[in-house]
Structure 1
Amino acid sequence: MRSILIILFIIPLFSFAQKAQTPENIVDLIKKNVTCQWQDETVDTFKAGDPKSEITGIAVCMFADMATLQRAVEMNCNFIITHEPIFYSHLDETDTFTNDPVYLEKRKFIEDNKLTVFRFHDHIHSTSPDGIYEGMLNKLGWRKYAVKDSPLYFKMPKTNISDFAEQLKEKLGLESIRLVGNGEMEFTKVGLAVGAPGGPRHIKMLRQDNVEVMVAGEASEWETYSYVNDAAAQGKTKAVLFLGHVKSEEAGMEYCAEWLQGFVKDTPIHFIENELNFTEL
């Protein structure tokens, strides 16, 4: 009788241990492992699919574009965690896309392949350390140059724009980098502004004495570009190197995949690098 009771007790425990993960379960684990309070008003929500579906694999990416979704399907990943919007606007609003053939085909691909998509943007930036900057510092190897352990400000060995740009291209796998401002100067003081925080934040960083060169993602040409070009025309030692949005943050999502592996068990997790589908002629 005692043996039967032990067996009956073990079977439910084994069944529980083998219970399949769902996107909803994974997001609950993410909420428990970030160091910040989860906000009610956030873009970090499910954008497509069924949060209660069974996960076959997790794909982590910067942009969930068509090429990335196709790659995820090839890798047997049906849960996509993306940093940026999937449907072409910050809030993934689709009202104006109801008859759009590009949107409709992408939506059909997601539905046909039973994919679930979750955006992880606000809280990976708000957790400590900021996961995107953490990944970028790892990739760039700049931690030793950080001013007072800041992820934003660095004191580098003296160099020039050309050599510095070559180092960035090599580390990030870029064919080219866009330079705006004084391209002839030597410098030591660098600021990092990933993604697209906006012209006002770029200009706030550039006006500081401890920033000669800002390494940035992307910006409106009538804001940051105009400001730094005027500064250079006035003889000021100011320049910006634009990496593009993807490469200025993508290493942060690679870090995110590694971070997830620390508390998501028995589920394959893959980082998918975005293809840069443009050519500079």
Structure 2
Amino acid sequence: MNQPQNPPPFNDHVNRRKFIAQLGTLAGSVALLSGPLTGNAASIIKPVESFTVGQIIDLFMKQVPGAPFPNTVDTLKSGNRDTVVTGIVTTMFATIGVIEKAISLGANFIIAHEPTFYNHADETAWLANDDVYQYKKQLLDKHNIAVWRNHDTIHSIKPDGVGIGLLKQLDWVSYYRPETGNLLTLPPTSLSALVDTLKKKLSIEKVRYIGNTAQSCQKVLLLPGAAGGRRQISEIMAKKPDVVICGEISEWETAEYVRDAQAKGDKLSLIVLGHIASEEPGSEFMIGWLKQNVPDVKATHVHPGNSLQFM
């Protein structure tokens, strides 16, 4: 399964840029051969291209028809569009630790998948007098760091950029079929072995689950992130998987449905990875996109780590 293709306007722009650079290189070479040796090699070195925050955001949004969407959460949380980018960090959450890492890398643009200020819409009026919010905001302002949330857009790429990142990390890309989407057919494996694979591939210490560890699992419904109980249950009803692998749940919704389904006699299991573990691979997807589309800008993936620990 391939990554989304670049839009033709950008490809044309790139080709023109390469052609002009090649002409400049040729002219410089002729001058060096026909005139006295000056030692100035700069004339034959391709200049590094710079981008603003807004240009990179717009370039990514061109991958998705209809973007930017109305009422989207994919907005700047700090900084401004006209800032010239010195480096990019991709991450799940722009935590204070991630911001400090960006500063040490000389990066002034963070592309985060989830909120920066503790609520879906990143509303901050209710946090105005809070010391934690002020500390974080002042740190971003002091170092002129732009933070852009890329949530709705990356999920709207076909196939979903977060989903494809997760499949790549699990080495499950070959099991993906566009006609079945997030319902994968794997070689039969026990629930226990499947859990071990997920923990190893995603570097997860522990997972929560419901099911018989000896159950054979072949039809896997993959729902990273926080799809919500109604969607999770609706997809279980429609697709009849052996196991659901999700990011997080409301414990009073999906978990109780699966428990009752098992009591009824259904062969249905549930594995809860955690939100970060299930969607962080989308930030790895972004690194690949950035290296392909803006190769002159240094981009680094910084994992925020898990906010919760196990005892």
Q: 1:226 to 1:256 in 2, by over 3 A?
A: same
Q: 1:234 to 1:184 in 2, by over 3 A?
A: farther
Q: Tell me by how many angstroms 1:187 deviates.
A: 2.2
- 1:257 touches 1:271 (CA, 8 Å); kept in 2? yes
Residue aligned with 2:217, SS: strand
Query: Which residue pairs with 2:134 in the alignment?
Result: 104
Q: What is the TM-score normalised by the length of structure 1?
A: 0.89
Q: Tell me by how many angstroms 1:152 deviates.
A: 0.5
Q: Tell me by how many angstroms 1:143 deviates.
A: 2.4
Measure the CA separation in 1 of the matches of 2:239 and 2:115. Answer: 35
- CA deviation map 1:191-229 (0-9, x unaligned): 100100100111012224540101100011111111111
Query: Which residue pairs with 1:37 in the alignment?
Result: 66
Give the stretch that moved more between structures: 87-96 or 150-159.
Answer: 150-159
Query: Which residue pairs with 1:10 in the alignment?
Result: none
Q: Tell me by how many angstroms 1:234 deviates.
A: 2.1
Q: 1:87 to 1:145 in 2, by over 3 A?
A: same
Query: Which residue pairs with 1:217 in the alignment?
Result: 247
TM alignment of 1:157-172, pairs within 5 A: 157-172=187-202
Q: Does 1:274 align with 2:307?
A: no
Query: Which residue pairs with 1:250 in the alignment?
Result: 280
Query: Which residue pairs with 1:175 in the alignment?
Result: 205
- 1:110 touches 1:116 (CA, 8 Å); kept in 2? yes
Give the stretch that moved more between structures: 146-155 or 228-237.
Answer: 146-155
Q: Does 1:131 align with 2:161?
A: yes
Percent identity between the two aligned chains = 36
Measure the CA separation in 2 of the matches of 1:180 and 1:36. Answer: 39
Q: 2:123 is matched by which residue type in structure 1? A: E
- 2:49 touches 2:296 (CA, 8 Å); kept in 1? no
Residue aligned with 2:188, SS: strand
Measure the CA separation in 2 of the matches of 1:144 and 1:44. Answer: 30
2:56 to 26, 39, 56: 26
Query: Which residue pairs with 2:228 in the alignment?
Result: 198
RMSD of equivalent CA atoms: 2.1
2:111 to 81, 101, 106: 81
- 1:132 touches 1:252 (CA, 8 Å); kept in 2? yes
- CA deviation map 1:79-125 (0-9, x unaligned): 00111110111100111111111111111111122111001111111
Q: Select the structure of larger CA radius of gyration.
A: 2
Query: Which residue pairs with 1:3 in the alignment?
Result: none
Q: 1:212 to 1:18 in 2, by over 3 A?
A: closer
Measure the CA separation in 1 of the matches of 2:305 and 2:190. Answer: 29
Q: Tell me by how many angstroms 1:165 deviates.
A: 0.3
- 2:183 touches 2:239 (CA, 8 Å); kept in 1? no
Measure the CA separation in 1 of the matches of 2:213 and 2:260. Answer: 13
Q: 1:209 to 1:29 in 2, by over 3 A?
A: closer
Measure the CA separation in 2 of the matches of 1:217 and 1:67. Answer: 23
Task: Give the unaligned 5+ runs of structure 2.
Answer: 1-26, 29-43
Q: What is the TM-score normalised by the length of structure 2?
A: 0.81
Query: Which residue pairs with 1:226 in the alignment?
Result: 256
- 1:132 touches 1:249 (CA, 8 Å); kept in 2? yes
- 1:178 touches 1:242 (CA, 8 Å); kept in 2? yes
